[in-house]
Amino acid sequence: MHVGMALTLAVVLVLSAASVTSWLDFLYACSYAKLAVTLVKYVPQARMNYRRKSTMGWSIGNVLLDFAGGLLSLMQMFILAYNNGREKGSGKKTAIEIANDRFLDDWSSIFGDPTKFGLGLFSVLFDVFFMLQHYVFYRYKLLAFPNIKKIFFLKKQTCLQKLRPSRGAPEQPWSGRGGRRTRL
């Protein structure tokens, strides 16, 4: 897929440089490539979370920020459609007729840029799925390991001790029980 996308972009770049197509067509091709990459980047993480039945090891904070960005992008398109539709009503009409004429009268603000709409929509959908995985489906995995940082610290310490044993002592990893350094 990546090779095909790169070849497509290269062909459109050459055609744009040779003035066969416009540079805007090249930018549209780049935007569709970005949409494809966005779709491809979410699927492996969702699949890995499903296989492991856990979301441990990745930050939910980035997902929440991505969700906010996608939601705000979609809201911007709907607000632009509403505001552009407001200017088209004229003459004496009832309030209901004006509201019907004005509400989302300019659909080109929403579907005129399919890449922006697609990026916002797919970001929101995948982020909702990731939030469900993290907070609903696999929450019990997080509760099973409340001291996960301590476990990683002990593993790191054990690995370091195996790499650099102390002089004159047999190669034994340190245990971190009780906050004291004792030999196992």
Phi, psi of 146 (to 5 degrees): -70, -25
Q: Whole-prediction pTM value?
A: 0.62
The pLDDT value recorded for residue 178 is 53
What is the number of other CB atoms lying within 10 angstroms of the CB of residue 98?
15
What's the gap between Cα 48 and its chain centre?
A: 15
The pLDDT value recorded for residue 146 is 54
CB under 8 A, 24+ apart: contacts of 69-75: 69/123, 70/119, 70/120, 70/121, 70/122, 70/123, 70/124, 70/127, 71/120, 71/124, 73/116, 73/119, 73/120, 73/123, 74/117, 74/120, 74/121, 74/124
Give pLDDT < 50 ranges for the chain: 142, 150-160, 163, 165
User: Would you state the structure tokens that stand for residue 128, as one six-digit string?
Assistant: 């909702």
The pLDDT value recorded for residue 167 is 58
Amino acid at residue number 94: T
Strand, coil or helix: 183: strand
Query: Interior CA angle at 175 toward 169 and 178, to 5°?
Result: 130
